[in-house]
Structure 1
Amino acid sequence: MSEKLIVAVSAASDSRRAVDWAVARASARHQSIELLSVVGGAVGMIGEAALIQAATSATEQLLAAEADRIAAAGVTVTTRVEVGDPVAQLAVASEDAALLVIGSDYRGPGKGPARGAHGIRITAASKCPVVVVPDFDLDDERSGVVVGVDGSPVSEDAIAFAAAEADRLGEPLTAVIVWTPISAPRNALMVSPHGYRDGMEQNAREALALSLGGLRSRYPDLEIEEAVAEGFPSLIINELAEGARLTVVGSRGHGVVRRFLLGSISHEVLQRLASVTAVVR
């Protein structure tokens, strides 16, 4: 398995935050970093070649400056500029990476737009886990790793990733599973029977316990908290993530149609980032 982290770099402020996050992780895990920028927008217009060349040269200078800025961290850094569609180019690059790290222009509730489709498509198309770094300061009071659980095979991969990160960071792991009751129109006057609600919660607890089976023996020093909640998964996950150092969710796998799609929960978590968030497939 590759130990290289690929960081998508641009001139935006969120890009620098992504680079800094990747450098800290690479330094701790003795990994290398490739800073990758993609010059996009070409449509084959006459006179476009000169513009592409100028943009490529400017981008190479940007990457060189970033490489110089992080040189003191002692991490092996390479740089690369590609030309083409950013989503497609980053998807290809991710085939040879342990992680793809990208920035997000989301600055928190009330402070900026939700994450646009561009970054979500990159995350969905990637062949490796993707870490999305929001464009706001993560204060030192944050602690712990939060992972969303739903009992699926992809969820198992997310748990494994989250546990390894929590153990490496020396932080507690919160594994949360959310059950959502059947909804009905307001005028239906339907009240869920106690047996139904109790059964849904019990099923969720059992699924969570099954998903975490063996984790404590694998990480004996890891503090694991099990959380079962009623509501909508992405809202609950982001509420917990507001105080966490890292959030981990699973995504759909690849397919002819699903290549540029995420599962609805991971999609919604990325739209309103509450912390650095990893999407694992």
Structure 2
Amino acid sequence: MGEAIVVGITDAAASRRAVDWAAQRAAERRQPLELLAVVGGATGAVGEGPIVEAALAEARVRAEVEASRIAGGLDVRTRVERGNPVTRLVEASEGAALLVIGSDYRGPGTKASRGAHGLRIAAGAHSPVVVVPDFDVAGRSGVVVGVDGSPAGEKAVAFAAAEADRLREPLVAVSVWTPLEVPRNMGVYPAEYLENLAHLTEESQAISLAGLRSQYPDLEIVPTVERGYPSQIINELAAKARLAVVGSHGRGALARFLLGSISQEVLAHLGTVTAVVR
């Protein structure tokens, strides 16, 4: 039995999608599943006690209902805590196989009220974080991964390859090159410069993917190198994929709750279920 998959649950619709995604993965990998509800917002004001107790009781009921709904054959545990949701979920990720959270993002053209909590959780977590948007991804195919040659990117590739092989889906490895902004007096880019950028990106990607074919002989790998802006292209490809994977470049104490700009932009406009790996 592997490490537990932890799911942050709330009363939002996206929470149920997150629970369903995590339950399916837990069943496929024979992992325990922990449903964690966090009651936050308490300030210690006089008369607040009964309100907090009622909120905790409601959260316990919600967790038990969700556990009963998905329980068939799964090792499901529930936990209800009081405190800052970001802090509690980040703490819960330590030792977890995955932390799964829902997002109320419903696709292009819609507005979400999720704020910065999901970004801070994804940046601060000790385990990979999977963010499940509030729309159906059934019928999609492929695992898209952003490949940039960084240490975080290498971990993202490893995670994505393992998931694609497990799901028997093609791995779409995406590397994006972006030329420097042309000074006004230059007019156009030299053709040699653009060709070299594309070639260097292809070489870097090949290094990042080296060894995958021997490790996963049955895995279909689709190398993809494009010119443009990374988050935009990743999300365009993710819009047709079952899963997307990106690396988090936050490092050290000061960067603990900061994502790299590309990962943050990918999460802001989710194309599909998206994993953030650090």
Q: Same fold (TM over 0.5)?
A: yes
* Residue identity (%): 60
- Stretches of structure 1 that go unaligned for 5 or more consecutive residues are none
2:108 equivalent in structure 1:
109
Check if 1:240 corresponds to 2:237: yes
3-state DSSP of counterpart to 2:271: coil
Retained in 2: the 8 A contact 1:233–1:265?
yes
Aligned residues of 2:103 and 2:114 also touching (Cα < 8 A) = yes
State how 1:105-184 maps to structure 2 within 5 Å. Answer: 105-113=104-112, 116-140=115-139, 142-184=140-182
SS of structure 2 residue aligned to 1:37:
strand
Count, aligned residues:
278
Matched residue SS, 2:65: helix
Which whole-Å CA distance do the structure 2 matches of 1:254 and 1:189 have between them? 37
Task: Specify the alignment match of 1:274 in structure 2.
Answer: 271
Matched with 2:209 is: 212
Query: Is residue 203 from structure 1 mapped to residue 203 from structure 2 by the alignment?
Result: no
Q: 2:260 aligns with which of 258, 263, 278?
A: 263
Query: What is the CA–CA distance in structure 2 between the aligned matches of 1:258 and 1:114, rounded to whole Å?
Result: 24
Give the AA of the match of 1:40. G
Question: Given residue 239 of structure 1, which amino acid in structure 2 is its aligned partner?
Answer: E
Q: For residues 153 and 114 of structure 2, what CA distance do their matches in structure 1 show?
A: 23
Separation in structure 1 between the aligned mates of residue 68 and residue 222 of structure 2, nearest angstrom? 41
Q: 1:33 maps to which residue?
A: 33
1:26 is paired with a residue of what secondary structure? helix
CA distance in 2, matches of 1:45, 1:4: 36
Question: What do the CA deviations read for 1:97-131 (whole angstroms, capped 9, x no partner)?
Answer: 00000000100011222752111111111110000
Q: Distance in 1 between matches of 2:206 and 2:114?
A: 33
Question: Residues 257 and 22 from structure 1, CA distance in 2 versus in 1: closer, same or farther, beyond 3 angstroms?
Answer: same
**What's 1:10 paired with?**
10
Deviation at 1:2, TM superposition (A): 5.3
Using the size of structure 2 for normalisation, the TM-score is 0.97
| 243 and 92 in structure 1: CA distance in 2 versus 1, 3 angstrom threshold | same
**1:176 shift after superposition:** 0.6
Counterparts of 2:250 and 2:109 in 1: how far apart (Å)?
Answer: 32
- Alpha-carbon distance in 2 for matches of 1:49, 1:97: 32
The secondary structure found in structure 1 opposite 2:179 is coil
Aligned-residue offset at 1:215: 0.5
Deviation (angstroms), 1:44: 1.6
Normalising by structure 1, we get a TM-score of 0.96
The CA deviation at 1:139 is: 3.1
Secondary structure (helix, strand or coil) at the match of 2:256 reads: helix
In the alignment, is the contact (CA less than 8 A) between 1:91 and 1:122 conserved in 2? yes
Alpha-carbon offset, residue 189 of structure 1: 5.5
Q: Which runs of 5+ in 2 are unaligned?
A: none
The equivalent of 1:78 in structure 2 is 77
Matching residue of 1:224: 221
Partner of 2:63: 63
Aligned-residue offset at 1:53: 0.7
Please report how far the alpha carbon of residue 256 of structure 1 lies from its aligned counterpart in structure 2 after TM superposition. 1.6
